[in-house]
């Protein structure tokens, strides 16, 4: 049998089977511009699926100068003709879901085509309370969560005491599940955290009040997505969070509680790995992080401040200033390796305009030992000192560039050097927040 080349349609029992699944993945610590990249591809996409996380995400999209910040709904919601889907791997705060739907409706965006997995879990009031009190209790050891109840909701899921969307349609089961979940949690809240106990009935009534409104959206998303793929429709899986926030592969414990990596797209939406053809890692041309945890190339001085101001690096979800530092190819290489990126989309290159020299991390020094890949030891990573090389910067405004050849030679050299160090081709470059402010090198669809 002749081996398949990447991008070539599969042949199976004489039938040509197109494989049009594409995953968009964060390659650093989040906020890389996944929303913009998803939106940019959106007019060629039939289904846009969120597969992990909840409203801890904040994806900003700018269309015709209008800014949208989506927390729970997939970015494809803004593309006419694209069906938005919340897969089974997502955790859903119903208050947030319907506020987001109503806010979009007020701006003329139709969300009636939204599909929601019956198996997605619900973030209830007690998850949010526990998220906040746990962080307070941890004090200096806190994770710096978004406080949206995401971690506690996933804990309940794994603990088999979670509440799923389908439970909204069976009142007695839902009431029993809320009571069971609260039995433990009220002990914790009252005895450990010195908070008042929560009323099971009140919480169940509130959740049930959404049952009729959500019912038309609820389907078996695995069936819908697999049938769509069978018909050659394009399905885009939009990652939230990022590789280094992954509970298995990230900087544990300073991570989120789900699997944002590419493999999570299959688990979190009910499609097999063979249905995915392209995996695009989104990486910022420098590095940012929100919340606690190690970050070797972080700049705690006026240079970090300049990156933050030039890039508008303030959280979409919590408004917190993002920690900023130089590009770290070791961080992105780890993501490319674990998720099997076929391409990288480099964003916010325009933000780097105006630096005379730009340092790029080429390795770490950990107590005298050199590392060319991320050390497996978290202690070593905490102590990693970046080893830099410097390349020439540029002063020209690059926000109007639409082809690679529009860039000054030094900008081209910066991109080429990053590509070399990561070992994955850079196929798209962002030069501004707008949909059209993009330089495509290789087609992604
Ligand atoms: P996400 O969570 O990965 O979707 O990223 P966020 O939306 O949280 O943060 C990315 C920010 O950068 C948003 O404000 C985007 O509008 C903006 N952005 C995305 N791509 C570019 C780019 O290429 N250049 C500039 N200047 N801004 C960009
Ligand atoms: P998008 O999709 C950046 C971070 C939080 C915290 C850690 C755990 O916009 O890239 P959680 O509330 O998930 O339990 O918090 O993860 N975090 C993000 N940082 N972008 C995100 O999403 C994030 N989602 C969670 O700041 O450090
Ligand atoms: Mg974000």
Contact between residue 332 and residue 339 where contact means Cβ atoms under 8 Å apart = no
What kind and span of H or E run contains 4? none
The per-residue pLDDT of the chain, averaged, comes to 94
pLDDT reading at 18 higher than 90: no
Rounded CA separation 118/242 (Å): 25
Nearest-atom index, ligand 2, CA of 260: 2
Per DSSP bridges, beta strands 115-117 and 66-70 are: unpaired
| Contact residues for 402 (Cβ-Cβ < 8 A; gap 6+) | 438, 439
Nearest-atom index, ligand 2, CA of 293: 27
Give the residues surrounding ligand 2 with Cβ less than 6 Å away: 26, 30-31, 56-59, 143-146, 148, 150-151, 240-242, 245, 256-257, 290-291, 316
Read off the pLDDT band of 317 (50, 70, 90).
Answer: confident
Q: Which residue, 42, 39, 45, 79, is CA-closest to 60? A: 39
Contact between residue 404 and residue 362 where contact means Cβ atoms under 8 Å apart = no
Residue 20: the pLDDT is 86
User: Which are the catalytic amino acids?
Assistant: 31, 59
Read off the pLDDT band of 14 (50, 70, 90).
Answer: very low
Per DSSP bridges, beta strands 59-63 and 66-70 are: antiparallel
Per DSSP bridges, beta strands 357-366 and 369-371 are: antiparallel
pLDDT reading at 15 higher than 50: no
> What pLDDT digit, counting tens, does each position of 412-444 carry?
999 999 999 999 999 999 999 999 999 999 999
Residue 19: the pLDDT is 59
Residue 43: the pLDDT is 86
Rounded CA separation 94/51 (Å): 17
Candidate from 245, 252, 257, 347 with most ligand 2 atoms within 8 A of CB, to mutate = 245
Residue 42: the pLDDT is 86
Average pLDDT over residues 361-379: 97
pLDDT reading at 5 higher than 70: no
Contact between residue 352 and residue 434 where contact means Cβ atoms under 8 Å apart = no
Give how far Cα 28 sits from Cα of 144, 259, 279, 346, Å: 17, 14, 15, 11
Read off the pLDDT band of 13 (50, 70, 90).
Answer: very low
pLDDT reading at 61 higher than 50: yes
Alpha helices in 209-274 (DSSP H): 211-214, 221-230, 262-267
Domain with CATH 3.40.440.10 in the chain: 21-117+220-440
Read off the pLDDT band of 3 (50, 70, 90).
Answer: very low
Residue 316: the pLDDT is 85
Q: Which phi and psi angles does 105 have, rounded to 5°?
A: -60, -40
> What pLDDT digit, counting tens, does each position of 117-175 carry?
999 999 999 999 999 999 999 999 999 999 999 999 999 999 999 999 999 999 999 99
DSSP class of residue 163 equals -
Domain with CATH 1.10.300.10 in the chain: 121-216
Residue 7: the pLDDT is 46
Q: Which residues pair with 288 in a beta bridge?
A: 324
Looking at 1.10.3720.10, 1.10.300.10, 1.20.59.10, 3.40.309.10, the CATH number of the domain 121-216 comes to: 1.10.300.10
Ligand 2 geometric centre to CA of 257 (Å): 10
For 21-117+220-440, CATH gives: 3.40.440.10
Candidate from 433, 434, 435 with most ligand 1 atoms within 8 A of CB, to mutate = 433
> What pLDDT digit, counting tens, does each position of 304-314 carry?
999 999 999 99
Rounded CA separation 238/35 (Å): 8
Residue 292: the pLDDT is 96
Contact between residue 115 and residue 224 where contact means Cβ atoms under 8 Å apart = yes
Rounded CA separation 82/114 (Å): 10
Contact between residue 58 and residue 93 where contact means Cβ atoms under 8 Å apart = no
> What pLDDT digit, counting tens, does each position of 191-229 carry?
999 999 999 999 999 999 999 999 999 999 999 999 999
CB atoms closer than 10 angstroms to residue 140? 5
Using a pLDDT cut of 90, give the percent of the chain over it. 92
Average pLDDT over residues 333-360: 98
Ligand 2 geometric centre to CA of 315 (Å): 9
Contact between residue 428 and residue 436 where contact means Cβ atoms under 8 Å apart = no
Three-class SS of residue 437?
A: coil
Alpha helices in 231-328 (DSSP H): 262-267, 302-311
Rounded CA separation 431/41 (Å): 16
Candidate from 25, 34, 36, 78 with most ligand 1 atoms within 8 A of CB, to mutate = 36
Q: Which residues pair with 345 in a beta bridge?
A: 282, 428
Using a pLDDT cut of 70, give the percent of the chain over it. 96
Contact between residue 283 and residue 339 where contact means Cβ atoms under 8 Å apart = no
Rounded CA separation 252/259 (Å): 12
CB atoms closer than 10 angstroms to residue 73? 26
């Amino acid at each position: 049998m002749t081996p398949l080349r990447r991008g070539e349609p599969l042949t199976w029992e004489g039938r040509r089977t197109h494989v049009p699944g594409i995953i968009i993945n964060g390659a650093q610590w989040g906020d890389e511009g996944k929303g913009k990249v998803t939106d940019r591809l959106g007019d060629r996409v039939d289904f846009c699926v969120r597969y992990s996380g909840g409203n801890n995400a904040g994806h900003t999209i700018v269309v015709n100068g209008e800014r949208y910040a989506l927390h729970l709904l997939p970015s494809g919601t803004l593309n006419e003709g694209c069906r938005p889907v919340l897969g089974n791997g997502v955790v859903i705060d119903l208050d947030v879901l319907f506020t987001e739907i109503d806010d979009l409706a007020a701006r003329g965006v139709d969300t009636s085509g939204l599909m929601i997995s019956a198996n997605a879990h619900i973030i209830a009031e007690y998850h949010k309370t526990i998220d906040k009190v746990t962080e307070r209790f941890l004090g200096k050891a806190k994770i710096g969560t978004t406080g949206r109840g995401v971690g506690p909701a996933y804990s309940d899921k794994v603990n088999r005491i979670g509440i799923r969307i389908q439970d909204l349609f069976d009142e007695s089961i839902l009431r029993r599940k809320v009571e069971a979940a609260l039995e433990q949690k009220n002990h914790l809240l009252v005895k450990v955290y010195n908070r008042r106990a929560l009323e099971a009935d009140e919480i169940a009534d509130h959740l049930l009040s959404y049952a009729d409104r959500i019912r038309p959206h609820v389907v078996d998303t695995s069936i819908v997505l697999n049938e769509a793929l069978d018909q050659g429709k394009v399905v885009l899986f939009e990652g939230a969070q990022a590789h280094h926030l992954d509970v298995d592969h990230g900087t544990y414990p300073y991570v989120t509680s789900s699997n944002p990596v590419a493999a999570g797209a299959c688990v979190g939406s009910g499609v097999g790995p063979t249905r995915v053809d392209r995996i695009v890692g989104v990486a910022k041309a420098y590095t940012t992080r929100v919340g606690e945890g190690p970050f070797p190339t972080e700049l705690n001085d006026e240079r970090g401040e300049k990156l933050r101001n030039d890039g508008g690096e303030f959280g979409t979800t919590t408004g917190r200033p993002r920690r900023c530092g130089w590009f770290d190819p070791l961080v992105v290489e780890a993501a490319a390796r674990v998720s099997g990126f076929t391409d990288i989309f480099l964003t916010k290159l325009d933000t780097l305009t105006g630096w005379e020299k730009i340092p790029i991390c080429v390795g770490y020094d950990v107590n005298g030992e050199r590392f060319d890949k991320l050390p497996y030891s978290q202690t070593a990573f905490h102590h990693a000192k970046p080893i830099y090389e410097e390349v020439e910067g540029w002063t020209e405004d690059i926000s109007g560039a639409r082809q690679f050849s529009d860039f000054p030679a030094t900008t081209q050299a910066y991109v080429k050097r990053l590509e070399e160090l990561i070992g994955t081709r850079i196929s798209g470059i962002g030069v501004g927040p707008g949909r059209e402010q993009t330089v495509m090198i290789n087609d992604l669809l």
